[in-house]
Every structure is written in structure tokens, then in C-alpha cells.
Amino acid sequence: MNKLAAKYLRPSQIPTKACHGCGIGMIENWLLQAIDELGFKQENVIFGTGIGCVGRQTFATWGGDNFGATHGRALAVATGLKLAQPDKKYLIVVGDGDAASIGTSHLIHAARRNLGVTVICEDNMGYESTGGQFSPTTPANYVTNSSPYGMAEPGFDPCDVVKAAGATFVAETTATQWHQTVKIVKKALQNDGFSFVHVRFPCNENFGAYALGTRDTLKNLEWIYEHTQGRKPDGSETDFTWETGIKHDVSNSRPEFSKIMRDMNARVRADMAAKAAAAAGDDKTRDDGHGTH
Amino acid sequence: MATLAVSTRDGLVAPWVEWEKRCTDGRRLLEAGTYALTEGAIAARCRVFAGYPITPATDIAEYMSKRLPQVGGYYVQSEDELAGMHACAGASLGGLKAMTATSGPGYTLMHDAYGWSITNEIPMVVVDAMRVGPISGITGAPGQGEFYIARYASHGGNFETIVLSPSSVQEAFWLTIDAFNLAERFRTPVTILTDQVISDMWEDLFIPADYDALDFVIPRKHNLMMPFYPVGSADLDVPPNLIGRGTGVCVSAYTHTEEGYDIEDMAAQWAQTYRLINKIRHHTDQLARYETLGLEDAEVVAVAYGANARTVKTGVLEARRRGVKAGFVRPITLWPFLDELYERDCRYVVCELNYDGQLVREVMRAAPDKKKVHFMGKSAELHTVAEVAAGLEGVARSNRVPELPYIWTEVR
Amino acid sequence: MSAIGGRLRTSFLLPILSVGCKILAMALFKAEKKAPKAGTAGKWDVVIGEDMCKACGFCMSVCPVPVFEYRTVTNKIGWFPMYVKHEENCIGCMLCYQICPDFCIDVAVRDEGRSTARVEQGQALT
């Protein structure tokens, strides 16, 4: 296996459970590059994930401490964990179901609190682990297992949601933007606050098969590539284009959640100490036997 | 009620019988149950509360928001109860003792978090201050509708749970410390099933002066080595795992191995379940807490827990005064259910704050003759002493609970 | 196309590019492999963990020169894995390393003194 995998991953969980040609492993490789280039040690990086393909196929591949929470609740767990272990780097690697559907409430509130974690939302535009139903990020009119007449519901971009909620770093890339993703993840990890990196990637078994009409790994990755640049090889425009790049960067400009809590505690305890000192001073001049508590 | 000379023995089995004797230095306050639950947690070194305000547990959230920063802890007001209990799990995994508090409508949102915490052996304390249901029901009245939900706190089966219930404000204080201790020893969420009356009522409360001197508080220790999950073993006192020391621990939503990652294998399921069930079942001797009165010669025994146990106990004394050989059993440990408390072959009258009958079914299962177990269900108010005495008298003299308004006697 | 650190959007570019002429966009995968330019190849060690390969075909397809080929025997996980047939053609672009979804590929500057040992070690990992 490659050197970074040998350095950081858990050998018993490689090869991963991912299907052939799945983007999850690719993206994890880029996360390892970002971690390595920043010089982070394995014991200082904690991976958290949820349920679904992104939750399961590479779960426990990270050789350090990691958790796989219930569906959608990885950020809820991270909120408590960050308070107890504030100095670690958190990579919360979740899918579009976990982040943009069942877990969106926790996503919004973690962004609002500016929780110091980096969320990598790996988006294959559907619920692929359960066979390929649509999700809130499925493109309009695409046929999936639960939108046999075409995706009718409006979708949304979780980047917009977290930006509105107060995230301090928001970016989007795709599975054909390896160098960009590594650079963006490095920047995201250096934000002491809530960072959100949205990476679109191909699913061959389900989205590819039902929405794109093929399980061919090359064709499906080409589809991602085309929608990244907005053009097909023959020059015609794609039906939609993803806006990639850094969408919002106010890194390190707002206090991080656990720091807010620690600062508040420090103020409260300083006040208490001051009051106790004042009361002790009073007691020296007034002894009525009541004592202090 | 004037003092009554009762020649029956009154016994309380609980660790705080000993603790109360040892703690003499402290303050006497007039305070509510929510205050006692909060202070008990702080005394047990709880340093994180993550929850959502809900009547009648709201005061716990408010007290925690005030007290935790004073002791270097963190109050998190979560976006919902589901997030709250998950955040408690995260904090506990990071090394801080954690607690959440809610009522029925919030409790039902916690099933997911319970399953995750039970499977991964994460210690914490969950308080459910029950009120009348279903759903929002009557917000300002006590209920006991979560007796079974507290045992079956998550889906999937294959686990045991520890559930305790106090019946006074003072007991709530000690019992909370006990709950944290049991959470540490058994590596599991411990549920405190209390109710609106215990939460809101004000009583005499003694608080020890120096929490740091309480040597019976079990401190948080960390397990830093494999096996992170000693599947196949029912050992007690295995320290909780820690995320943040680079031990490589995995915490998973699936059936897992000793290391914590997922495995789909019957042998692994057996080994994991062996631990989750037997670490509790094989140590029920460490979990027995209860109160009894007059069992040595009782012909009819009243059974109740929580707030209504107070009036039921007085009802038992009143029945004695009327010449009925009445006894009283108050389980404090609700789960694992203490079958041994119902071995006496006599009649039982189970007084519960619900109409569908939950505790009564367990007593029927445990008692020698289920046909001799009677039900007095009531909802929205505590049982009155008169009702209980009438019920005990009726069962003693004519083997049935008399017709009483708003008392449900049918069990199906 | 996208830009790091800026707010450049493909949608802003399209109106400019599409006026008048038809632009041929790049494809991701190169169907034709060209021989490496003189002086660029032969300096790289390429190792594939064949027992981890799931035969997605990305490495061979994204590689601009002929390096990879499929085995004709399956590996332990049931796929016909990729193997390094012409390591001497590798120009070190690292695209295969970036695109492999299974951590299989290592590309590094050839170390003449230890190259044999490196390759053997790579094979031992498979």
C-alpha cells in the first residue's frame, strides 16, 4: 500500500469495503496527504463518521482514535467530544445523507457554534448504501431508485446551509480535483472553527447504474469531471455545473465553541475567587460565626 | 398523621445508608428535587450537561448552566434531546463525566443515543422526570409511563439496562452519586427514573460541605489498552475507553470486535451480547437497592416506587392501623428487576402512576401466584392514603380492590 | 476549471469562452498512450499492492504513458488487478497515486542503490 496508508491507516481494515471505483477511498488518500503535509501525528487526529457508504466503507481505516456515530449524529457526538478533548484535530467525514438530510440540524448548530472541527461532506448525490434512493443533493430530474419519474423535489447545497449558519470556512471540490482538495483540506484544518469541505464523488454501483445508466467506472468519473468543468469533451455544456473552490473563508476570525466555553469558565471562576477574597476580607473585620460557603 | 408505633421492621438497602452516617459536615437546605439531582451530579464530579429544557427537568438544565462553569465544567444546550445525549456520549468518551435530563417527550428521542452508548459501553447518567402521557400529556403532573421504555431504551435487544428511582429529595441527591458510580463500574448509561413530583417538590435536603472529601465517589479512570471491549467477559470495573490518547480505539454503531470496528459474525454477536447482558445480570448483588416494611408477617404487600411510594407507604401504615397485616416494597433499582423482593406467597397490590399497567406485569411474573397480584393504576395525581388503605383492606378481606373512582384495576 | 483561494466560477468563464467558437474541453482519461518524452522517464519506482487492487481501471486510464496492464489471474479479493508492466516509462506525474481509491499505488523517485529491495518490499505488501 502507499506510504501514507502504511503510516496512518489500520492494516486489518484495508482493502476497504468500498466498491471498485468508489470515490471514498480516493478522498481519504487526499485527507492523508493533507494530514501528512501539515505534520499532524496520528494520535492528535480523530476521525468521526456516521452511517451510509461514507460512514461504513472506510470506517475504522484510520489507525488512530475514531468513532462511527448513529446516522446523522456525528456532529452531536463531536460537540461533546471537542469540549473534553479540545486540542485534537477532528475530521468528521460524512455523506450527503448524514450531513444534508438526517443530520442537518446538528450540522447547522455546529456551524452556528463555530465548533472547531473539519467536516468533509462526501457527496455521491443519493442514498447509495441503501441501494440508490435520492437525497437532498440529487440533481433535478435524475432517475434514482426512489425517483423513478425523475427527481421532483427541489434539492439544496449544504454549503449554502452551513454558510448561512455561521461556518467560518466553506469550500467545494469534486473527485477529479485531487490537488485542489488537498490544499483546501489543509486550509480547512488550519481554521480553529467550523470548516466545511463538500466533495462530490461518483458512485458506480447505484447512482451510476440507475441515474447515469452505467456502472463503468471511467464513464462515471468522466461525468464528474465534465460537471466540474461545465463542458463535455465535445465542447457542449453540461446540464449543470458545480461551483467549486473556496466559497467562504473567514478562518480564525470568530471564537471557537470550546474556547468560548473555557473563557466563560475562566471568567466565572475569577469572579468567584474575587468574591471569596472580598468575603474573607470582610470576615476579618466581622466575626459573627456564620462562616462562608 | 400522628406518629404510629409500628412493630414491623422497616429496612432500606442502599449504599447511602452508610454514606449518610459518614457525612456529618454540611448544610441543611429546603430545596427541590431538581436541585438535589444537580448537586448530586456535581458531587459525583459530573462536568458536562448536554440537554434540552423540558418541564419538569428544566430546572436541572438551569442549575447546571450556573453550576458547571463554577467547577470548570460545560453546559451545552443542545438543539434537541437526541443531540444532547449524543453530546454526553462524546464528552464521556473524551474523559468527562456527563449527564442529561429530560422528560417523556425528550426521552423517546434518546433511543438512538442509548443504543450507541450501551453498545460502546459509555458511562453517563440520564434523568427522565416522568409526567403524564402519551406525548406532552399533562405537563404538570407525575407519571410512571416509562418503566418499560427505560429497560428497553433502544432497539435491537441484546442488552440489559440499569434504572434507579428515588422517592425523596434527599434520596435523589445520594442516588445520583450512586448512579454515576454504577455508570463507571458497569460502563453503561444509568437511567434515573424520577417524576414531576420529586422534581418539583421542596424538602429538607442535607448537602455535604466538601465534595472533594467524598471518598465514595468513584473517579473516572481510563482504559488505554486492548481489549477496548472485552467481549465474552462479564467483568465489572473495566475502566471506560478514552478518545484522545491515540490508543486507536474504535467506537462503532455496529456489532463490534474487541478493537471496536464492525464485524458481521454470529460468534462476535454472541460474545458482544454475552458482555452487555451478563456484566449486569451476573452482578445484580451490586445493584440491589430497595426499601421494605412489614414483610415478615404481611398478608398483602403494596408495591410502589418514586413519588407515589410516599403516599402508598403511609397507606400501608393506615391499613396496619385498621388491623390489616399490610407490608410495603419499594424497589429503588427498577432494572434489573429484583425478582427476589416478591418471593413471599401473599397478595400484592401494585400502585402505579399509569393506567396500562407496567410494574404490575413484572410483579405478576416474579410473584409465586400472578392471580394474587392486584393493580391500582392512577394517572395525573398521586394515590391518596385513603385509596391505598381501602385497596389493601379490600384485598385482605375480600381478595379484590374495591371500586374507586379513577383507579384502574384491570391488567391485560 | 476552478481556482484555489479565489472566487472564480466556471459559470463566469463560459459566456466568454463560448462566444463564436466551439471549445473542446479536456477529457479526464487519455485513450491514447504516448511514449514518454526523452529524459523524463526511467527515474521512478512504481509499486502496486496487487492484493488490494479492485481493478477500477483509473490508474491505467489516467496515466499518459504506457505503464500499467491488467493481470490475467485474479487476486485474493477476486479482481484481475493492475500491475506495473513498464515501470521504465513512468514520468512521475503522480496522477495514478492521486486517483487510486484503494491506497494501492506508491510512486517515488528511484533510488538506484535500494531499488530492487524497494520493489521486493512492495510486492511483499500485496
3-state DSSP call for residue B271? helix
Residue A292 has pLDDT above 60, yes or no: no
CB B52 within 8 A of CB B100: no
Residue A151 has pLDDT above 70, yes or no: yes
Q: Is B326 found in the same domain as B208?
A: no
What's the pLDDT at B89?
98
CB contact under 8 Å between A68 and B251, yes or no, is yes
The answer to whether residue C68 is domain-embedded is yes
Q: Which of residues 271-290 of A touch C (CB under 8 A)?
A: none
Residue B124 has pLDDT above 70, yes or no: yes
Q: Which range among B41-55, B66-80, B90-104, C13-27 shows the weakest confidence by mean pLDDT? A: C13-27
Looking at chain B, the whole-number percentage of residues with pLDDT higher than 90 is: 96
Mean pLDDT, rounded, for A37-44: 97
CB B255 within 8 A of CB B297: no
The answer to whether residue C3 is domain-embedded is no
Q: Is A184 found in the same domain as A103?
A: yes
Q: Is A273 found in the same domain as A225?
A: no
Question: How much is the mean pLDDT over chain A?
Answer: 94
The answer to whether residue B58 is domain-embedded is yes
Q: Is A146 found in the same domain as A264?
A: no
What's the pLDDT at C120?
44
Select from B148, B154, B147 the least CA-distant residue to B120: B154
Confidence of residue A126 (pLDDT cuts 50, 70, 90): very high
What's the pLDDT at A290?
43
The answer to whether residue C57 is domain-embedded is yes
What is the ipTM for the molecules in this complex?
0.94
- Digit-coded pLDDT (tens) for B383-402: 999 999 999 999 999 999 99
Q: How many domains does chain A have?
A: 2
Residue B373's alpha-carbon distances to B88, B367, B403, in angstroms, are 40, 8, 16
CB contact under 8 Å between B253 and A293, yes or no, is no
Please check whether residue A12 touches C, CB under 8 A.
no
CB contact under 8 Å between C4 and A184, yes or no, is yes
The answer to whether residue B57 is domain-embedded is yes
Select from A196, A198, A218 the least CA-distant residue to A208: A218
3-state DSSP call for residue B197? helix
pTM for the complete prediction?
Answer: 0.92
Select from B17, B22, B57 the least CA-distant residue to B36: B57
Helix B111-119 crosses helix B266-281 at what angle (to 10 degrees)?
A: 100
What's the pLDDT at A43?
96
Residue A188 has pLDDT above 50, yes or no: yes
Q: Determine the residue of chain A that is closest to B47 in CA distance.
A: A84
By the 10 Å C-beta count (0-12 exposed, 13-18 middle, 19+ buried), A87 is classed as exposed
Residue B316 has pLDDT above 50, yes or no: yes
Contacts of A215 (CB under 8 A, 6+ apart): A204, A205, A208, A209
The answer to whether residue C37 is domain-embedded is yes
Residue B26 domain boundaries:
15-213
What's the pLDDT at C6?
37
Residue A89 domain boundaries:
3-254
CB A45 within 8 A of CB A37: no
What's the pLDDT at C38?
78
Rg (CA), chain A: 23
In sequence order, which ranges of B136-195 are alpha helices (DSSP H)?
147-151, 169-186
- Digit-coded pLDDT (tens) for C12-48: 333 334 444 455 667 788 778 888 887 778 899 999 9
Q: Is A217 found in the same domain as A153?
A: yes
Select from A150, A137, A181, A146 the least CA-distant residue to A23: A181
Q: Is A142 found in the same domain as A197?
A: yes
Q: Which residue has the higher pLDDT, C34 or B145?
A: B145
Q: How many domains does chain C have?
A: 1
Q: Which residues of A touch B83 (CB under 8 A)?
A: 73, 76, 79, 105-106, 109
Domain boundary among B188, B213, B238: B213
Q: Which residues of B touch A70 (CB under 8 A)?
A: 86, 112-113, 115-116, 253
| C-alpha atoms less than 13 angstroms from C-alpha of A205 in its C-beta half-sphere | 14
Instruction: Kindly report the number of other CB atoms within 10 A of residue B338's CB atom.
Output: 20
Domain boundary among B187, B213, B239: B213
What's the pLDDT at C19?
40
The answer to whether residue B235 is domain-embedded is no
- Digit-coded pLDDT (tens) for B203-252: 999 999 999 999 999 999 999 999 999 999 999 999 999 999 999 999 99
Q: Is B176 found in the same domain as B30?
A: yes
Q: Is A260 found in the same domain as A245?
A: no
What's the pLDDT at C37?
82
Residue C44 domain boundaries:
30-125
Instruction: Kindly report the number of other CB atoms within 10 A of residue B268's CB atom.
Output: 18
The answer to whether residue C76 is domain-embedded is yes
CB contact under 8 Å between A73 and B113, yes or no, is yes
Confidence of residue B7 (pLDDT cuts 50, 70, 90): low
Confidence of residue B2 (pLDDT cuts 50, 70, 90): very low
Residue A232's alpha-carbon distances to A181, A228, A238, in angstroms, are 22, 10, 6
- Digit-coded pLDDT (tens) for A222-240: 999 999 999 998 889 999 9
The answer to whether residue B247 is domain-embedded is no
Select from A146, A24, A167, A5 the least CA-distant residue to A95: A24
Residue A115's alpha-carbon distances to A70, A90, A258, A260, C104, in angstroms, are 19, 10, 7, 10, 34
What's the pLDDT at A226?
96
**Which of A77, A84, A106 minimises the CB distance to B95?**
A84
Can you tell me the distance from the alpha carbon of B186 to that of B162, in angstroms, rounded to the nearest whole number? 9
Can you tell me the distance from the alpha carbon of C32 to that of A134, in angstroms, rounded to the nearest whole number? 36
Residue A202 has pLDDT above 90, yes or no: yes
Q: Which residue has the higher pLDDT, C34 or B86?
A: B86
What's the pLDDT at C5?
36
What's the pLDDT at C31?
74
Can you tell me the distance from the alpha carbon of A6 to that of A20, in angstroms, rounded to the nearest whole number? 20
C-alpha cell at C11: 459559470
Q: Is A293 found in the same domain as A165?
A: no
Q: Is A268 found in the same domain as A218?
A: no
What CATH number does residue B321 fall under? 3.40.50.920
The answer to whether residue B274 is domain-embedded is no
Can you tell me the distance from the alpha carbon of C23 to that of A231, in angstroms, rounded to the nearest whole number? 9
CB contact under 8 Å between B48 and A83, yes or no, is yes
CB contact under 8 Å between A235 and C79, yes or no, is no
For cell 467524598, what's the residue?
B214
Looking at B78-229, which runs of residues are DSSP E strands? 97-102, 124-132, 138-142, 162-164, 189-195, 202-208
What is the 3-state secondary structure of chain C?
CCCCCCCCCHHHHHHHHHCCCCCCCCCCCCCCCCCCCCCCCCCEEEEECHHHCCCCCHHHHHCCCCCEEECCCCCCCCCCCEEECCHHHCCCCCHHHHHCCCCCEEEEECCCCCHHHHHHHHHHHC
Q: Is A203 found in the same domain as A281?
A: no
- Digit-coded pLDDT (tens) for C56-107: 999 999 999 999 999 999 999 999 999 999 999 999 999 999 999 999 999 9
Q: Which of residues 199-238 of A touch C (CB under 8 A)?
A: 217-218, 221-222, 225-226, 228-235, 237
The answer to whether residue C107 is domain-embedded is yes
Q: Is A200 found in the same domain as A263?
A: no
Q: How many domains does chain B have?
A: 2
What's the pLDDT at C124?
45
Cis peptide bond prior to B336, omega within 30° of 0: yes
Cis peptide bond prior to B134, omega within 30° of 0: yes
What CATH number does residue B115 fall under? 3.40.50.970
Pairing of strands B290-293, B326-331: antiparallel
What's the pLDDT at C112?
67
Helix B169-186 crosses helix B33-43 at what angle (to 10 degrees)?
A: 40
What's the pLDDT at C77?
93
C-alpha cell at A291: 462562616
The answer to whether residue B285 is domain-embedded is no
Cα dihedral angle (B178, B182, B188, B191), rounded to 10 degrees?
-30
Q: Is the dihedral of CA B87, B107, B98, B249 positive or negative?
A: negative
Residue B405 has pLDDT above 70, yes or no: yes
Confidence of residue A286 (pLDDT cuts 50, 70, 90): low
Q: Is A197 found in the same domain as A121?
A: yes
The answer to whether residue B29 is domain-embedded is yes
What's the pLDDT at C36?
83
CB B188 within 8 A of CB B151: no
- Digit-coded pLDDT (tens) for A1-37: 899 999 999 999 999 999 999 999 999 999 999 999 9
Q: Is B163 found in the same domain as B32?
A: yes
What's the pLDDT at A164?
98
Question: How much is the mean pLDDT over chain B?
Answer: 96
The answer to whether residue C16 is domain-embedded is no
Can you tell me the distance from the alpha carbon of B289 to that of A53, in angstroms, rounded to the nearest whole number? 45
CB contact under 8 Å between A80 and B98, yes or no, is yes
Confidence of residue C116 (pLDDT cuts 50, 70, 90): very low
What's the pLDDT at C23?
55
Residue B9 has pLDDT above 80, yes or no: no
Q: Which residues of C touch A178 (CB under 8 A)?
A: 98-99
Neighbors of chain A with 3 or more C-beta pairs under 8 Å = B, C
Q: Is B171 found in the same domain as B54?
A: yes
Q: Is B304 found in the same domain as B170?
A: no
What's the pLDDT at C42?
85
The answer to whether residue C6 is domain-embedded is no
Residue A140 has pLDDT above 70, yes or no: yes
- Digit-coded pLDDT (tens) for A48-78: 999 999 999 989 999 999 999 999 999 999 9
3-state DSSP call for residue A133? strand
Q: Which residues of A touch B252 (CB under 8 A)?
A: 59-60, 67-68
CB contact under 8 Å between A272 and B70, yes or no, is yes
Can you tell me the distance from the alpha carbon of C58 to that of C60, in angstroms, rounded to the nearest whole number? 6
CB contact under 8 Å between A20 and C25, yes or no, is no
